[in-house]
Structures are given as structure tokens and as C-alpha cells.
Amino acid sequence: MAWFAASLLLPWWAAYGLVGWCDRPARRDGAATFLRAGLALGIGVGLSSCGYFLWLLLVGPPGKLYHACDLTVFAAIGLCGLVFRRTAATAGHPSGLPFETERRWQRLLLATFMAAMALAVLAAIGVYWKDPLGDWDAWAIWNQRARFVFRAGDQWRQAFGPMFEHVDYPLLVPSGNARLWSYLGGEPAWAPWLLGTLFTFATVGVLAAGLSRLRSRSQGLLAGLVLLGVVAFLQRGAWQYADVPLAFYLLATVLLSLLYDAAERPPAGLLVLSGLMAGMAAWTKNEGLLLLVILPATRAAILWRRGCARQAPRELLQWVLGAAPLLAVVAMQKLCLAGSNYLVNDRTWEAVLRQLADGSRYWQVMQSLLLYTARIARPFAIVLPLSALLLGRAHKPAPGRRGLSGAFLVLALQLAGYFFVYVLTPCDLQWHLATSTDRLLLQLCPLCLLVLFVWLATPEEVFAQEAAQCGVRETHHSLVMPVRFTRPPVTAPHYAVRDNCRLPAD
């Protein structure tokens, strides 16, 4: 069990150092620590699963030597990160809390979030108790492949034989699970469950902490509460579906890009990390490959529109630098193991054009997307629009909103990509929609909440605005009260000077 703990914690620790190094100028506060810890979980799992796969492909079935090398490498990276953090701690700038003093409603919101987290943990354990092997996708695809790879020894390539379906699916989850089992020396069902649940809570943590940094802590907590309340997301995580890790990587990719845009002196490391996360999304599911095209294209288009086209090649290079190692691993998997994909296999142009011209398919897909959105959101289908009306839209120069249009475009294009995959599917459309729409929507759920809550005004902003309008002075006993910021509210359009290129807020 000690080795198992080390196999989980050392990559996490190493990735924490890596994130800290890439995100050097960040404030040192609770939100930053949570954000780094959340991002580090995804990077740690992703890198360790890549290592396991590469060892399997290039050396053979991982044994004691693999364990020694694996742990040594991550321990060495972690130590480098620790040394860096020690030196950076003296040079870095300390930070204040987001608020000068904490109000009662803020404490209440934090308490509600903690209560929701506790309930979510209990629920995740309950789901495991009920379905220890997870649900269909877990035992039919992800864990089945992990079992084959783990049990087959030298014959592990049989797991990609012609009798199996979906052999082109990327291997982050199967490799990650097989790696954990190799440290445990057996295949307990709780190991994949633990990985899925960790990704679920890391997604909530990254969303809340990321919004905390971009907008305000209460905005982060509100978004985190909504994601926790979308119980389908929690359930799919505990069911060990790969859609939850993919949702994590999609969120992290766009969030890091937003943090880069929001920074006064943006560190290149944030873009490198964003690229790394996008690479991991492609290493998790084929849907992640779409992001590898969408995000750089969107970024380049927005820079060009802002008149900063000269900046685009440098930024794209930094982004590709992060994505390249993972892309190489994905390419190796596709070339060495994967067969053709069922969506593009044996398609003729005539069939594709016929489906494109069929209007009823568009209508069917649209209906299904709307229906499943309502099914997933449940009460939030009403509560979220109502809450959005109650909070209102943030004013343009609000901090952290720079880059919002890019994030929205990525979300819209990713959804459009899914839409056209359905329109052009060679499978029976009704069956395809019924078996996958909810999962695809859940992949975009955290990203959608990120975009929405960056766009909405924070409670602090609304309170401050109301106070300014009414001329009410701050009192200490009212629930609805203005909050004084450590940073003064921005009144003029906010500009960042970057390479002689003035970027107005979106």
C-alpha cells in the first residue's frame, strides 16, 4: 500500500512543482494552492500514464525495474520543484486575500460549499458501493483494456486485436488504471474508482479556484456549487467514465489560456501548461483531438483581430511546445496499435454529402442536445438562468474577463464539432444520440460553467455597485452589503502592454 500511495502522490508532487514553475508570478494564497494542486493531479496522472504506456511499448510489461525508474523520475522532478519553490519563496511577492475582511454571506457561502463537498464525497462512496465496477463504458472499454494490458504480460497487444472494438481510443485511463494495479499487485475495483473520483473533485477544485483567481472567490464557489449539484457529472466520475478526465483537461486548457490573458505580465509557462493539458485531452479521448485544432486557431484569429498578429507565432510556439510531447505519444499509439476509427471507416463522399444535406438530421441532433441538457442540468435548467438574471452581466473592464471571447469561441466550436460528428455519423443516429449525448455534454459542462461565471458579475461587484448607487456606507450586520476590494474597482478600460501591443479588455 505504501508503494501505491507513492505511485499516486509522487507524480502529483512532481507536477505541483512543474505547475508552480510555469506559474511563477501568481499570488500565493489559498486559491492559487488549490488551483496548482488540482492542475497537478491531472498532469501527474497524465504523465505517469504516458510513462507506463511508453515502457510497455518500448521495453515490455512493466515490473520492478519500471517501478524503480518511475518513482525515481517523479521524485527527482518533485525535488527540483521543491528547491525551486524554496528559492522562489524568498524572491516572490506575498499576496493578500481577495477581500480585506470576510463578510457573513461569504462565510455562509463557503460553509455551503464545504457541506456540498461532504455530501458529494458520501455520494461518490455510495455510487462505488452500489456499482463497484462502474457502468458500461468502464467495464466495456476503459477498465477492460486496462485488465487485458495488466494481465496479459508479453501478450498485451492482444488487447488491440481485431476482435475488440474501439481499439483506436486513447489510453490515458486504461494506462493509468493498469499502472495503479501494477503497484497494488492486483486489480481491486476501488483503484479505478479512486482515479475517477479524484478527477471529479479536481475538476470542481480547478473550476472554483480558477474563477477565484480570475474573478472573485464567491464567484468560484458559486460555479463549484453548480458543478457539484450537477449530480450526473459526479456519478459519471464514480462510474469511472473517461468523459470526466476529459472534462477536466478541456477546462484546464481553456482556464490556463484565460489566466495567461488576464495576467499583467503573462508568463509563457501558462501557455505551455495549456498546451500540455490539451495534449492530455487528446491522450484521454478522441474528442480531445478536436481541441488541438480549435484552441490554436481561435487564439490566432483573436490575436489577428486585435491587430497583434505578430504575437501569434510566438504564442502558438509556446502552446505547441507543451502539447508536442503528448502528441508524440498519441501518434505512437495511433501508428503502433490503433486500427481505423468507426466514424471515418469506409465512408464515401456521396454518403457524407447526403447526410449533410439531410435537414432532419440537424433537427434530430438539436432536439437531443436540448433534451439531454435539461436532463443533466435538472433543477439547474431553471435555477441557473434565474441566477444569471439576478447577478447580471459583468461590466466590460471587470478583471479576469480578458480572453472571454476566445474561451466562448472554443466552447462553441467544440460543441459545433460534436454536432457535426452526430450529423455525419455512419451509425444509426437515434442509437448514437441515445448512447452518447449526455456524456458529450458532460465533457463541456465545466468549461461552460467557466465561461458563464467569467461573463456574469460577481456578487461583490453587484453589492459594490448597489452601494455606489444608493450611497450607502458599509455596515457590519447586513447580509446584503457592499464589499471593499483590496484592488480598487476598475473604472477605465484596462490595458495590458505586451510587446508594444495594447490589448483592450474583451
Quick note: the x/- pattern for another protein over 172-201, rule CB under 8 A, is: -----------------x------------
CA 246 → CA 80, 239, 276, 376, 418, distances in Å?
Answer: 29, 14, 13, 17, 14
Angle (CA) 347 353 357, round 5°: 140
When the beta carbons of 358 and 466 are compared against another protein, the nearer one is: 466
When the beta carbons of 108 and 344 are compared against another protein, the nearer one is: 108
When the beta carbons of 94 and 379 are compared against another protein, the nearer one is: 379
CB of 391 to another protein, least distance (A): 5
When the beta carbons of 131 and 297 are compared against another protein, the nearer one is: 131
102 Cβ contact partners less than 8 Å away, ≥ 6 residues apart: none
Residue 427, SS3? coil
When the beta carbons of 390 and 412 are compared against another protein, the nearer one is: 390
| 8 Å CB contact between 172 and 46 | yes
Q: How far apart are CA 2 and CA 249, in angstroms?
A: 28
Among positions 15-54, residues that touch another protein (CB under 8 A) are none
Residue with cell 441515445: 434
State the alpha helices, DSSP H only, in 92-238. Answer: 104-130, 136-137, 143-152, 172-184, 190-214, 217-229, 231-238
Among positions 468-497, residues that touch another protein (CB under 8 A) are 479-480
Nearest to residue 223, comparing CAs of 484, 506, 465, 451? 451
Q: How far apart are CA 185 and CA 4, in angstroms?
A: 9
When the beta carbons of 379 and 488 are compared against another protein, the nearer one is: 379
When the beta carbons of 36 and 103 are compared against another protein, the nearer one is: 103
Among positions 67-106, residues that touch another protein (CB under 8 A) are 105
When the beta carbons of 394 and 447 are compared against another protein, the nearer one is: 394
The three cell numbers of residue 470 are 444608493
| 8 Å CB contact between 454 and 401 | yes
- 54 φ, ψ (degrees, to nearest 5): -65, -40
Angle (CA) 331 7 280, round 5°: 25
Strand partners of residue 485: 99
**Out of 95, 310, 466, 504, the residue judged to bind another protein by CB under 8 A:** 466
When the beta carbons of 15 and 223 are compared against another protein, the nearer one is: 223
Among positions 338-397, residues that touch another protein (CB under 8 A) are 378-380, 383-384, 386-387, 389-392
**Out of 231, 300, 321, 332, the residue judged to bind another protein by CB under 8 A:** 231
When the beta carbons of 327 and 377 are compared against another protein, the nearer one is: 377
Number of H helices, E strands in the chain: 20, 2
Length reported for the chain = 506
Instruction: Examine residue 467 and tell whether it contacts another protein (CB under 8 A).
Output: no
The three cell numbers of residue 422 are 452526430
Instruction: Examine residue 427 and tell whether it contacts another protein (CB under 8 A).
Output: no
Nearest to residue 22, comparing CAs of 88, 115, 71? 88
User: Three-state secondary structure along 355-414?
Assistant: HHCCHHHHHHHHHHHHHHHHHHHCCHHHHHHHHHHHHCECCCCCCCCCCHHHHHHHHHHH
Instruction: Examine residue 112 and tell whether it contacts another protein (CB under 8 A).
Output: yes
Residue with cell 488491440: 160
CB of 390 to another protein, least distance (A): 4
**Out of 220, 296, 463, 505, the residue judged to bind another protein by CB under 8 A:** 463
Of 64-72, 221-229, 268-276, 416-424, which segment contacts another protein by CB under 8 A?
Answer: 221-229
| 8 Å CB contact between 119 and 229 | no
Residue 99, SS3? strand
| 8 Å CB contact between 297 and 439 | no
When the beta carbons of 68 and 140 are compared against another protein, the nearer one is: 140
**Out of 31, 172, 207, 228, the residue judged to bind another protein by CB under 8 A:** 228
CB of 151 to another protein, least distance (A): 5
When the beta carbons of 93 and 476 are compared against another protein, the nearer one is: 476
Of 47-55, 292-300, 411-419, 454-462, which segment contacts another protein by CB under 8 A?
Answer: 454-462
Q: Could you tell me how many residues of this chain bind another protein (CB under 8 A)?
A: 63
The sign of the CA dihedral 44, 452, 503, 263 is: negative
Quick note: the x/- pattern for another protein over 113-152, rule CB under 8 A, is: x-xx--xx-xx--xx-xxxxx--x--xx--xx--xx--xx
Strand partners of residue 456: 393
> Which chain residues interact with another protein by CB under 8 A?
105, 108-109, 112-113, 115-116, 119-120, 122-123, 126-127, 129-133, 136, 139-140, 143-144, 147-148, 151-152, 155-156, 158-159, 161, 163, 189, 218, 222, 225-226, 228-231, 234-235, 378-380, 383-384, 386-387, 389-392, 457, 459, 462-463, 465-466, 479-480
